[in-house]
Amino acid sequence: DAKTTQPTSMDCAEGRAANLPCNHSTISGNEYVYWYRQIHSQGPQYIIHGLKNNETNEMASLIITEDRKSSTLILPHATLRDTAVYYCIVPTAGGTSYGKLTFGQGTILTVHP
Amino acid sequence: GAVVSQHPSRVICKSGTSVKIECRSLDFQATTMFWYRQFPKQSLMLMATSNEGSKATYEQGVEKDKFLINHASLTLSTLTVTSAHPEDSSFYICSGGGGFHTFGSGTRLTVV
């Protein structure tokens, strides 16, 4: 898997947008960027993924830079329940969603009242 | 969406005994499932890849004779921790393909 770099921790006020950055400068042209989160003592939860275009679903938006070397996960209106560890993962091409995932340390997002 | 059910959620066992953890895909068939382990304040580490009808593939450093994996059907994979010791106490998580790696809720194993 391509190496990703994320800040160790971030804070966000409830109701505000949470913007979580991820650097993946060694990403290859056909490798996707995946985001998962893990709430304390639970299994990880899939959030969103993308290749080159920006993506949006009911949970979040994913903004990928034109050179694809970095991306930002956006939680538009963070709630206390969004407090979790957020993982940015770039699986080796060919594996994508059916291959194994390599988890880094992720970003601990704390949403406060 | 895809659902993976993992049981038990918590288990306490005595040192030297064996513990079995089940991972079921409820609404999809999983030819491949993955088993992870997570120690406190650490990230998930892949232990092994479970393949239906064939032997599991273990990551480097994971003892295959200690962590027995069985994937006898397309909806069930089991992980048995044999001769458990306190250092095996951890959070074990399974995941299935089913789209975007649907994860189970995890099993907290405590060996006393």
Residues with Cβ < 8 Å from A13, sequence gap 6 or more? A78, A111, A112, A113
Which among A36, A43, A49 has CB closest to B106? A43
* Pairing status of strand A70-75 against strand A61-64: antiparallel
Instruction: Collect all residues of chain B within an 8 Å Cβ-Cβ radius of residue A34.
Output: 100
Instruction: Collect all residues of chain A within an 8 Å Cβ-Cβ radius of residue B102.
Output: 46
pLDDT band at A95 (very low <50, low <70, confident <90, very high): very low
Residue of B92, B101, B103 to mutate for A, most A C-beta atoms under 10 A = B101
Q: What are phi and psi of B65, to 5 degrees?
A: -80, -15
Q: Is A32 on the interface with B (CB under 8 A)?
A: no
pLDDT at A97: 44
Contact of B91 with B42, CB cutoff 8 Å: no
Token pair listed for B37: 């382990």
pLDDT at A93: 57
Is residue A14 packed enough to be buried (19+ CB in 10 Å), middle (13-18) or exposed (0-12)? middle
Instruction: Collect all residues of chain A within an 8 Å Cβ-Cβ radius of residue B56.
Output: none
Give A76-92 pLDDT, tens digit per residue: 999 999 999 999 998 86
Mean pLDDT of chain B: 92
Residue of B44, B94, B107, B110 to mutate for A, most A C-beta atoms under 10 A = B44
Is residue B54 packed enough to be buried (19+ CB in 10 Å), middle (13-18) or exposed (0-12)? exposed
pLDDT at A60: 98
Instruction: Collect all residues of chain A within an 8 Å Cβ-Cβ radius of residue B95.
Output: 43-44, 101
A43: closest chain B residue by CA: B105
Q: ω into residue B8 within 30 of 0, thus cis?
A: yes
Which among B4, B6, B43 has CB closest to A105? B43
Q: Does residue B86 carry a pLDDT above 90?
A: yes
Q: How many CB pairs under 8 A join A and B?
A: 49
Q: Does residue B104 carry a pLDDT above 60?
A: yes
Kindly determine whether residue B103 and residue A43, on different chains, have CB atoms separated by under 8 Å: yes
Instruction: Collect all residues of chain B within an 8 Å Cβ-Cβ radius of residue A100.
Output: 34, 46, 49
Q: Does residue B101 carry a pLDDT above 80?
A: no
pLDDT at B14: 97
pLDDT at A3: 87
pLDDT band at A101 (very low <50, low <70, confident <90, very high): confident
Closest CA to B102 of B20, B34, B9: B34
Q: What is the dihedral of CA A63, A60, A87, B98, to 10 degrees?
A: -110
Give A7-34 pLDDT, tens digit per residue: 999 999 999 999 999 999 988 888 889 9
Give A52-64 pLDDT, tens digit per residue: 989 999 999 999 9
Contact of A57 with A50, CB cutoff 8 Å: no
DSSP B86: G
Mean pLDDT of chain A: 91
Q: How far apart are CA A48 and CA A53, in angstroms?
A: 12
pLDDT at A87: 97
